Amino acid sequence: MDATRRPTTVMDAHDRPTTLRAGAVHPKWFTIEETLEALPEEPEDPTRFEAFMQLIKTAGALDRAATHVLADLNLTAGAFAALLELQVSGDTGLAPSQLARRLAVARRTATLYVDILARNGWAERCAHPDDKRMVLARLTDEGRQILDEVSGGYKQRLAALLEDLSPIQAERLRQLLAGIDTTGRRAAEEDIVERLAALV
């Protein structure tokens, strides 16, 4: 006897057992519907987008707060970061492209930061010792002096913007943000490689 033709016991609307006669229901009601479309492997999740939007808002708020902290130096947070990167580079200096990579900004933005520092007398442009066509940016004596005098205090005031985080939370946040930055840079590099390959 066909299994789909056997009487089937189900619960009625009052939770009482009742028997369905053979042929009273469509046989496929008791089988898996083979025509159902496959569900996506991973349903669309808005969490990453919401995290991205929160990151944008927080970054904007921190940038405004940092600009207020640095107001008496007449620097933005980005220009101050450029000043610190030039300090790390020492007498060698950095090309605009190198400074841009270290700050994760566009090259024209890095050039703008150097312009700001140069107007204040804290940075200067010079030719690369091995390639006269390449221009490097490096700190002037005045730039090094201003950092020696005030950088510690400004670092503390900027760090205070994250005072609600414990040191462990701050380090975890730094690692997470560094991971995002690394992912973005790798994607950009792969895109450049693909474009170059297409030209061959």
**Residue type for position 144:** R
The enclosing domain of 133 has a CATH number of 1.10.10.10
Examine residue 37 and state whether it is found in any structural domain, yes or no. Answer: no
Classify residue 13: in a domain, yes or no: no
- H or E element at residue 135: strand 135-139
What is the tens place of the pLDDT at every residue in 42-58?
A: 667 788 899 999 999 99
| Block residue for tokens 């005045």 | 142
Position 111 pLDDT exceeds 50: yes
Average pLDDT value for the chain: 78
**In total, how many domains does the chain have?**
1
Reported confidence tier of residue 29, pLDDT bands at 50, 70, 90: very low
Share of the chain above pLDDT 90, in %: 42
Residue 184 lies in a domain: no
6 contact partners, CB below 8 Å, separation of at least 6: 22
Scored b (16 or more CB within 10 A) or e, 140-165 reads: beebbebbeeeeeebeeebeeeeeee
Residue 116: inside a domain = yes
Question: Residue 134 domain-assigned?
Answer: yes
Q: Which residue type is seen at 29?
A: W
- Residue 145: domain span: 74-155
Q: What is the pTM of this model?
A: 0.65
Task: List, for residues 143-190, the tens digit of each pLDDT value.
Answer: 999 999 888 899 999 999 999 999 999 999 999 988 886 655 655 555
